[in-house]
Amino acid sequence: MDQLKITYFDIDGGRAEPARLALHIGGIAFEDHRFAFGEFAAVRKTTPLNQVPTLQVNDVQVTQSGAITRYVGRLSGLYPEDAFQAMLCDEIMDGVEDVSIKLGTTFGLAGDDLKIARTDLVNGVFPKYLRWLQNQLESHGGEYFAASRLTIADLKVFVFIRGLNSGNLDHVPTNLVETVAPKLNAHMQRIAQMPAIVQHYAKSTAA
């Protein structure tokens, strides 16, 4: 069996989290290498593009979170085999990545600059993407985003919505999702109740 190692910040979220969750759900062993933000300057020197997450597969180091998540999704049976359903899954994944990049541009800002940037997202980009995601969920049956079953698209959305609701993002109201797209909150809560995910966060909290 291949030896797998995910390297990412010591947070329960971000770009590595969907892959971590997929591996837990699939019962696939992997090394969950987490590091503190203060260690990033050193860690990034060991990566191909000076960024994380990375996935080590035996002796091969892979970068790009989308590629990593799709790969472990295939290993875990959480990526559709049907080409059309795979495209629908990818559409959701790429959409969430788009809005995550927009959010990422606000990190490093402070004071009024941060408040203005985040407020602009709350009043514009976030509602646009949240309504689109909710419409996609409804049009695909209301429970899952593709293939009428759990896929990595659901995990990607779950992590994103969980982050918006967390209260860890200054100037982003914790009731934003519930106000704009309540069915995404219901989706998140349903995913959160899966035994493997409950176990994952219980272990993380204990650690």
- Residues 33 and 133 occupy one common structural domain: no
pLDDT, tens only, 115-126: 999 999 999 999
- Residues 186 and 89 occupy one common structural domain: yes
Res 1: pLDDT: 81
pLDDT(205) > 70: no
| Mutual angle of helices 65-76 and 17-26, in 10-degree steps | 10
- Residues 122 and 89 occupy one common structural domain: yes
**Final residue in a domain of this structure, among 12, 43, 77:** 77
Domain assignment present for 41: yes
pLDDT, tens only, 51-76: 999 999 999 999 999 999 999 999 99
- Residues 42 and 131 occupy one common structural domain: no
Tell me which residue range forms the domain holding 16: 4-77
Res 203: pLDDT: 78
Domain assignment present for 102: yes
* Alpha-carbon separation of residue 154 from 21, 125, 134 (angstroms): 11, 20, 12
- Residues 23 and 73 occupy one common structural domain: yes
Split into its structural domains, the chain has a count of 2
Residue 72's contacts (CB-CB under 8 Å, 6 or more residues apart) are 4, 19, 22, 23, 26, 28, 55, 152
Identify the burial level of 107 via C-beta atoms within 10 angstroms of its C-beta, where 0-12 means exposed, 13-18 middle and 19 or more buried: exposed
pLDDT(15) > 60: yes
Res 206: pLDDT: 64
Using an 8 Å Cβ cutoff, are 184 and 12 in contact?
no
